[in-house]
Chain A
Amino acid sequence: MIARNRVVTTGVADGRPLVFIHGFGCDQSMWRQVVPSLADDFRIVTYDLTGMGQSDLSAYDPERYADLQAHAQDLLDIIDELGLVQPVVVGHSIGATIALLAANQEPQKLSRLVLVSPTPCFLNDDAHGYHGGFSQEDLEELISFLDENHLGWSAQMAPMIAGQPAGAPAADELTKGFCRTDPAIAQHFGRVTFFADERSAFEKAACPSLILHCDDDALVPMQVAEWMRDRTPGATLKVLKATGHCPHMTVSSDVVAAIRDYLKAI
C-alpha cells in the first residue's frame, strides 16, 4: 500500500493526522504549497491515487477502479496501515468525493473532512433542476480529447523547461513527478471522474465537513456550492476569493488559514 501509492509522511509524528488526496489530472505534488505551512503542527500524509503520479500503474485494474468506491477503499486501507487515529481528510475535487465516500463507509475512522472545490456531479441534470456545469457532449468531448493528447503525451514528460534560466532546479527532478499520467488510465479515470454522480452520498454525509469553494471557479458553478451547503449534513461552506479550480495552488495561504480555523473550532 505504502509503496504502491507512494505514501509520504511528514510533519510531527505525534501531531493530529491530516491526509491529503489530490484530484484528477495531477498528483500529490499539488499540495506542496499547503503542506509546509501545516507541518509544524500536524502529522501529514500525502499519496498518489492508484494509477496516478508515481503510484504503481500496474495496480490500476480498470474493472476495479471503474467506481470511485475502490479509491475510497484505498484511503481506508492507508489509514489502517499507518494506524492513523481519526484523521482529518483533505480532498481536492474528485479527491474530495473519494474522502466523503470513505467517511460514509466507515464513519468512525475519520473525524472531519475538508473538501476543496468539490462537486457531487459535473453533469447537468435538468430534470432535477441540478446545474453541474457540463453537458453530456462536453464531457464526452473531454474524454476523446484526453485520447488526442495521447500523441503529445511523451513530450509532456520530457525533462526540459523551455525558457527557464540555467541553474534553476534540475529540470529532470522537477518534471519527473508532476502530473504524470498514463494516457490510457487518464482517459479511464477521466470518465469515472466526470461522469460520477455522488449526489446521494453527499446527502448522506456521515462526517462533518468544511467546503472550500472559489467564487470564480471555472468548473463548479456557485449553485453547486449552495446545493452542497443546503443538502450535505454537517457541512460548512466557505467561499474563497479566488479564480480557478485549485485554490490550494493559487491562494494557498487562504486555504491553510481556513483549515486551521476549522480545526481550531473542534
Chain B
Amino acid sequence: MYDKEELRSAFAELLEDAPCGIVVTDPDGRLQYVNETLSRWLNLPTNGEERPQRLPELMTGPGKLYYETHLAPMMRLQGFAREISCSMKVRNGSNLPVLLSGVARQDSEGNPVRFDYTIFDARERRLYEDQLRAARREADELAAIVRTSPNGILRVEEDGVILRWNAGAERLLGRSFEAVQGLRVQDEIRFEEDPDWFPRAVETCKSAPEAVFETVDGKGQHFEITVVPIREHEVGPKRNYSIVLRDISARKKAELSLKVAMNEMKHRIKNTLAVVAGMAKQTLPGEFRASFIGRLQAMSKAHDILTSEDHKSADLMELLTLTADEAGGAQRFRIKGITAMLPSEQVTSLSMALHELTTNALKYGALSEPEGYVEVTCEKIEDTGDLLRLVWQECKGPPVVTPTRRGFGSKMIDTILKFDLGGEVEVDYRSDGLRCVITFRV
C-alpha cells in the first residue's frame, strides 16, 4: 500500500497524465482546469493568455451549438451528461472525435458550483460506429426490398428447413411464416410433377452457381424458381439457400395464347395460298400457269421454314436444300461453304430469287442439260462483319447467250434482292455458264 505522500503524488500523476482528458468548469462553462493529457491532445498553447476561456471554445462549431442547446441545460437540470459524442478542435491538426461525460457538483442548497468532465479519445470508436451505421442502413434498405417484394423470398437450410419466409411468400402461397417455420420447404411447397424439386436444385447448385426452373402447382399456378446457395458468413455445418419464387402464370398464359394465334395464322396463310393456286389453275393459260404456281409454292415453302422455327429466323442451308429439291437433287445442285441464320424478311426474298434462278436454269441454263449442274458457294467476306456472298455458278450447260430483253424473272431478282434483301446482285452471262453473285448483310 502507498503511504500518504506516495498516494498524493500518484493522484497528481493520475489526474494530469490520465488516459483521458479531464476538465473542470464553472457552471457557465469557464475552464477552471484542463489536464495535461487533453492539453497535449488538443495541442493547447501553454501561454495563459492564448488559452481558450470556455469549454465550448474547445469544440468544433456544431459541438459549440450542442453545448449551448443541450449539454449546458442538461448539466444544470439533471446534473450529469453521459457519453456525448462530439469533436474537439486540435490546434494545427484535424479534429479529434471524443466522448464526453460530465457531472455537476452542487452546494448544500442545490446550486451548481462546478462541472467535472472526462473526455475519451473516440477515434476508433467513431470509425467503428460509422461502419456500424453504414452497415445498418444498408441492411435496413435491403430488408425493405425483401419485405415489399411481390416475389416469395425464402431462406432455408440444406435439408429444406424453412428459416425465413417473406411477406411476398405469404401472399403468393397463402400461408404465414409462423405456420411453416421449421418445416421442410419441399413438403410445404408441393409440385405434383416435381416432388423432389428442392433436393434436385441443391444438387444442381453443387456444379452451377444457381438452379433456375419453371414448374406448375396443383392449382395451375406457374412459378419460376431460383435456388442459390448463401455462401457469405457461413456458420455451422448446414449450408443455407435462398429461394425466390416468381409467379409467372400471367406470362405463361400469354405465351400460350400467342402460340395458338401463331398456329392459326400459319394455317390460314397456307389455306389462302392453296386457294390462290387453285384460282390460278382455273384462270391462267397453260404457259403462265406452271411458272406462277411454281413461284407460289416457293413462297409457301419459305413460309413453312419460318413458322416451323421460332418465327423470326431460318437457316440459310435449309433454304438451299429446298432449292436443291426443286433443282433435282444434290448431284445437280451442289452446296458449298458456310451457313447463317437469316431474319424472316430475307428468307422470303432470297427464296423467291433462288426459285427464279432455278426455274431459269431448268428452262434455258445448266439444268436443261443432263450433265449440267449448279454450284452454290456461300462465304463470309469480312471476319468481323456479317457480310455474306452467295455465288451461283452454272456448269456444263448449253452455251450462254446474253438475253436481248429482261424477263419478269430477272426483273424480280433485281428488285427483291436489292430492296428486300438489301444486297448487291451481279449477273454475268459467261459463255461457259451463268454466274450470279449476291452480296448481302445478315
Contacts and interface: CB of A to CB of B under 8 A. Distances in A.
Nearest to B105: A163
Contacts of B86: 145
A112 B80 CA distance: 36
A249 B73 contact: yes
B204 interface: no
A162 interface: yes
A245 interface: yes
Contact of B60 (A141, A163, A245): A141
Contact of B62 (A29, A145, A163, A250): A145
Interface in A163-204: 163-164, 174-175, 178-179, 194
B61 to A, nearest CB: 4
A241 B86 CA distance: 28
A35 B239 CA distance: 66
Given A178-B78, A179-B70, A219-B68, A145 B85 contact: yes
Interface string A140-162: 01100111110110011010111
A194 B65 CA distance: 10
A198 to B, nearest CB: 17
Interface in A2-31: 23-26, 29-30
B84 interface: yes
Nearest to B82: A155
A249 B76 contact: yes
B72 A244 contact: yes
Contacts of A146: 66
Nearest to A22: B73
Contacts, number: 122
B30 interface: yes
Contact of B69 (A139, A141, A243, A245): A245
Given A134-B61, A155-B82, A162 B27 contact: no
A174 B80 CA distance: 11
Contacts of B65: 134, 138-139, 142, 194, 219
A218 B54 contact: yes
A93 interface: yes
B78 A244 contact: no
Contact of A26 (B77, B129, B132): B77
A149 B79 contact: no
A218 B68 contact: yes
A26 to B, nearest CB: 5
Interface in B78-111: 78-87, 99, 101, 103
B73 A138 contact: no
Contact of A162 (B73, B80, B85, B132): B80
A246 interface: yes
A163 B29 CA distance: 19
A135 B65 CA distance: 12
Interface string B276-287: 000000000000
A30 B73 contact: yes
B74 A152 contact: no
Contacts of A141: 60-62
Contacts of B229: none
Contacts of B132: 151
A162 B69 contact: no
Contacts of A162: 80, 82, 101, 103
A160 B129 CA distance: 24
Contacts of B21: none
19 contacts: A26-B69, A26-B73, A29-B77, A138-B65, A142-B61, A145-B62, A146-B66, A148-B126, A151-B85, A151-B132, A152-B99, A155-B83, A161-B78, A161-B79, A162-B103, A194-B65, A218-B68, A249-B73, A249-B77
Given A244-B28, A246-B73, 7 more contacts: A23-B69, A26-B70, A26-B77, A138-B62, A148-B126, A158-B82, A178-B77
Interface of A: 23-26, 29-30, 32, 93, 134-135, 137-139, 141-142, 145-149, 151-152, 155-156, 158, 160-164, 174-175, 178-179, 194, 218-219, 242-246, 249-250
